[in-house]
């Protein structure tokens, strides 16, 4: 059990969590990173990172491996692809349960669980993932050579990816729930200029239908609530990101977008619980900002622990 006692547990192993791990382990804090997915987080999903200062160009996978090794070399323990099944953050000794069996304790915890692509959550979406439904144009675009596809969304990603998918598809229909786009005007204009692109506005896909692979979708007009079926070969979904904070609901303070609310030093409403990266309330979500947050949260956690020790000694 002693082996499971740490100074700091970092929940999430993306750039924010790994950076916190580097700072904490280097500061001689016994540190554990618990990560539900692959270490590196969204960074491993990035083909090329060209805006990380000091490195002209690098794949996200490589940058993740460097950060992971850096943290490990300072003595940080990293456990990935696991499930957090229990949390007790309020008491002075914080506990985290993993895979319904292992309990880890720490004096401070950093929440760095990042975000993920939003899904539509409509019938058929799971069944046809990889069989007509995709969330990545660069990965799967070439499967739709000369096919008719739909792009769902109205932000920059949706409009830019719709244009890029016209390299392959014979037609691209953009389905968007509102009557105007959230994307930059130049992205909207480029999509509007493209002859292969058409638009179905104020509408949502409410069902995916097919046998072995996707054959058609049911589209609902948001104003009239009228529905119709459209035959289609593929659907690409780009409807933004949501923070991975479900597990913290009712425990730490979240805002209305479910982002973690933090003070300037990135401490949450619970003493000794800090948060960093894409899961917190902030405007810009990049590797550089996640790395900066990881640093601030780690230094805050160290200060918190040092103050606890000073109190005990006094």
* Chain residues in the site for ligand FAD (CB under 6 A): 11-17, 34-37, 41-43, 45-46, 49, 51, 84, 112-115, 244, 247, 277-278, 285-288, 290
Alpha-carbon distance 145 to 148, whole Å?
A: 9
* Among the listed residues 4, 30, 58, 61, the single contact to another protein using CB under 8 A: 61
Measured from the CB atom, the residue of 115 and 154 that comes closer to ligand FAD is 115
Residues that contact another protein, how many (by CB under 8 A) = 30
Q: Which does 114 bind (CB under 5 to 8 A by kind): ligand FAD, another protein, none?
A: ligand FAD
Shortest Å distance, C-beta 66 to ligand FAD: 14
Shortest Å distance, C-beta 282 to another protein: 23
Give the distance, in angstroms, between the CA of residue 124 and the centroid of all CA atoms in the same chain.
23
* Among the listed residues 59, 171, 177, 221, the single contact to another protein using CB under 8 A: 59
DSSP per residue, 211-264: SSSEEEEEEEETTT--EEEEE-SEEEE---EEES-GGGTTTS-B-TTSPBP--T
Shortest Å distance, C-beta 302 to another protein: 29
Shortest Å distance, C-beta 42 to another protein: 8
Shortest Å distance, C-beta 98 to ligand FAD: 9
122 close to 208: Cβ distance less than 8 angstroms: yes
CA neighbor of 8 nearest in space, from 52, 66, 74, 64: 74
Shortest Å distance, C-beta 174 to ligand FAD: 19
Q: Is 131 in the site for another protein (CB under 8 A)?
A: yes
* Among the listed residues 136, 167, 189, 269, the single contact to another protein using CB under 8 A: 136
152 close to 125: Cβ distance less than 8 angstroms: no
User: ∠146-154-288 over CA atoms, to 5°?
Assistant: 105
Q: Is 132 in the site for another protein (CB under 8 A)?
A: yes
On the CB side of 108, CA atoms within 13 Å amount to 29
Measured from the CB atom, the residue of 123 and 136 that comes closer to ligand FAD is 136
Can you give the C-alpha Rg of the chain in angstroms?
A: 22
Alpha-carbon distance 300 to 45, whole Å?
A: 29
Site string for another protein, 143-162 (x = CB under 8 A): xx------------------
Q: What is the end-to-end Cα distance of the chain in Å, rounded?
A: 28
Q: Which does 180 bind (CB under 5 to 8 A by kind): ligand FAD, another protein, none?
A: none
Only one residue has tokens 């480029």, namely 190
Q: Both tokens of residue 87?
A: 């949390």
User: Residues interacting with another protein, by CB under 8 A?
Assistant: 37-39, 44-47, 59, 61-62, 80-83, 129-136, 138-140, 143-144, 212-213, 234
């Amino acid at each position: 059990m002693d082996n499971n006692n740490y100074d700091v547990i970092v929940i999430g192993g993306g750039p924010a969590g790994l950076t916190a791990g580097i700072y904490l382990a280097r500061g001689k804090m016994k540190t554990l990173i618990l990560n539900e997915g692959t270490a590196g987080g969204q960074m491993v999903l990035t083909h090329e990172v060209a805006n990380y200062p000091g490195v002209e160009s690098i794949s996200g996978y490589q940058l993740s491996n460097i950060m992971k090794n850096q943290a490990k070399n300072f003595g940080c323990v990293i456990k990935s692809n696991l499930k957090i099944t229990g949390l007790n953050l309020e008491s002075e000794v914080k506990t985290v349960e993993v895979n319904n069996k292992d309990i880890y304790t720490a004096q401070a915890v950093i929440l760095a669980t990042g975000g993920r692509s939003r899904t539509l959550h409509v019938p058929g979406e799971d069944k046809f993932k990889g069989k007509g439904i995709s969330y990545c144009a660069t990965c799967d675009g070439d499967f739709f050579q000369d096919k008719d596809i739909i792009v769902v969304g109205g932000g920059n990603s949706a409009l830019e990816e719709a244009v890029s998918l016209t390299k392959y598809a014979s037609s691209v229909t953009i389905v968007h729930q509102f009557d105007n786009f959230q994307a930059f005007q130049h992205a909207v204009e480029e999509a509007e200029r493209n002859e292969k692109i058409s638009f179905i506005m104020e509408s949502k896909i409410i069902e995916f239908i097919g046998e072995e692979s996707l054959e058609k979708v049911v589209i609902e007009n948001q104003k009239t609530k009228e529905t119709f079926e459209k035959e289609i070969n593929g659907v690409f979904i780009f409807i933004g990101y949501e923070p991975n904070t479900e597990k913290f609901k009712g425990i730490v303070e979240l805002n209305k977008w479910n982002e973690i609310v933090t003070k300037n030093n990135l401490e949450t409403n619970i003493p000794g619980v800090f948060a960093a990266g894409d899961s917190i309330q902030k405007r810009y979500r990049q590797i550089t900002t996640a790395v900066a947050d990881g640093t601030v949260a780690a230094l805050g956690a160290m200060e918190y622990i040092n103050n606890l020790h000073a109190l005990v000694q006094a």
